[in-house]
Amino acid sequence: MRSTYSHYRLTVLIIVTAAISGCMAMMAPPANLDYSRVRTSVNGRYHAAIKPDGDSIPQGKLQKWTLHLETASGSPIDDATVSVDGGMPQHGHGLPTKPLVTRHLGNGDHLVEGMKFNMGGWWVVKFRVNTTAGADSVVFNLKL
């Protein structure tokens, strides 16, 4: 249910952003985007860091990422349920794959498999994190 709701919210976000950008679609992404690979969740519950394989994120190739999760006070999280979603706000479409967290690696690290970006431009990747402390989302911006 939560996952459906999360997907719904992301879809609405993408549609609204696409509508606002209107004829801006396909153009350069907004200038003030934060492309940091370390982010705090929307409601401040968690800190998250993504570690793609290598320094740059290749286009058109499946990748494995490590997602590191910590509480707001800095304790590693190993018992989270995590779902992955995303897309291209300016194009109005989602990810070309359905990535999943396939393994808890310990020390707050989670293996994310199935990441792929089939075109250049601005992408968002959203992790919906759920623990006993509650649910929250972390959104990363990427520029390929």
> Does 103 contact other proteins by CB under 8 A?
no
* CA dist., res. 19 & res. 27, Å (int): 14
Among 100, 111, 133, 135, binds other proteins (CB under 8 A): 100
Q: Encoding tokens for residue 71? A: 């509480």
* CA dist., res. 101 & res. 130, Å (int): 13
> Does 15 contact other proteins by CB under 8 A?
no
> Does 105 contact other proteins by CB under 8 A?
no
- Provide the b/e sequence for 113-136 (b: ≥16 CB within 10 Å): ebbbbeeebbbbbbbbbbbeeebb
Residues between 47 and 86 with contacts to other proteins, criterion CB under 8 A: 59-60, 62
* CA dist., res. 138 & res. 80, Å (int): 13
Nearer CB in complex with other proteins: 77/142: 142
**Residue 142 C-beta: closest distance to other proteins, Å:** 16
Among 70, 72, 92, 131, binds other proteins (CB under 8 A): 92
Residues near other proteins (CB under 8 A) are 23, 25-26, 59-60, 62, 91-100, 113-114, 116, 118-121
